[in-house]
């Protein structure tokens, strides 16, 4: 996630895929990257760094946005981040509990389920060179009966932000029985503000 970097963060994926495409048609699993410092003069040593495109992509990402991985203890975590944190600790019960608690917290909310006309705002904390920003989505009727869409109305990320297209609008859906589920689990309820009939029904950032 943009507030706390996920391993599936589109920025990391874009960097990785860009490196992999340096050799068109190559199989990613067989690729490696060599960075060589060839010093001038005969007999001078040659310094070399060798790694995978994914490893280099993570180094580039870390320099730009901060290291992907476990967030600080004082940061609020989304249900998915809590589950992944437990998985890294090999805590199966904790992983399942995080997912179940996240689902229960959403489905037991007095305003649940989402309705056409609801406005959903998600706040992303600053990370690396990316400033804090927000996205606003509109819940509307879907294509299939009983389904809903979630359309992005606006975002506040500067237009000159690198990889802008991969960073905004990723939670928009066209036809979904529960369009809030992915956003709730990945971004986390603490990042969301939901407005219904002009009044806030969920303020995740409230202290």
| Cα angle 33, 38, 43; round to 5 | 135
Q: Residue 207: is its pLDDT beyond 80?
A: no
Q: Are 141 and 148 in contact (CB under 8 A)?
A: yes
pLDDT digits (tens, 9 = 90+) for 91-137: 888 888 889 988 999 999 999 999 999 999 999 887 767 788 899 99
Give percent of the chain above pLDDT 90: 29
Q: Supply the pLDDT for residue 144.
A: 86
Q: Residue 8: is its pLDDT beyond 60?
A: no
Confidence band (pLDDT; 50, 70, 90) for 74?
Answer: very low
Confidence band (pLDDT; 50, 70, 90) for 4?
Answer: very low
**29-64 burial, b for 16+ CB within 10 Å, e for fewer?**
eeeebeeeeeeeeeeeeeeeeeebbbebbbebbeeb
Q: Where are the beta strands (DSSP E) in the chain?
A: 33-38, 46-51, 119-124, 133-141, 148-155, 173-176, 192-196, 199-203
pLDDT digits (tens, 9 = 90+) for 135-147: 999 999 988 888 9
Distance CA 201, CA 117 (A): 13
pTM of the model: 0.61
């Amino acid at each position: 996630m943009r507030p706390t970097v996920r391993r599936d963060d589109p920025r990391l994926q874009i960097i990785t895929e860009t490196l992999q495409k340096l050799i068109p048609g190559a199989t990613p699993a067989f690729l490696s990257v060599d960075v060589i410092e060839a010093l001038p003069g005969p007999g001078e040593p040659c310094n070399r760094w060798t790694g995978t495109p994914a490893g280099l992509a993570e180094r580039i990402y870390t320099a730009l946005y901060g290291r992907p991985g476990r967030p600080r203890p004082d940061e609020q975590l989304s249900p998915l981040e809590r589950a992944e944190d437990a998985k890294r600790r090999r805590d199966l019960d904790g992983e399942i509990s995080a997912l179940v608690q996240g689902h229960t917290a959403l489905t037991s909310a007095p305003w649940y389920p989402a309705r056409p006309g609801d406005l959903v705002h998600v706040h992303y904390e600053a990370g690396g060179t990316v400033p804090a920003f927000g996205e606003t989505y509109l819940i509307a009727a879907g294509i299939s009966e009983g389904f809903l869409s979630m359309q992005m109305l606006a975002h506040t990320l500067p237009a000159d932000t690198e990889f802008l297209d991969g960073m905004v609008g990723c939670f928009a859906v066209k036809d979904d029985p529960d369009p809030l589920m992915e956003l709730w689990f990945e971004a986390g309820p603490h990042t969301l503000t939901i407005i219904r009939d002009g009044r806030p029904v969920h303020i995740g950032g409230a202290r």
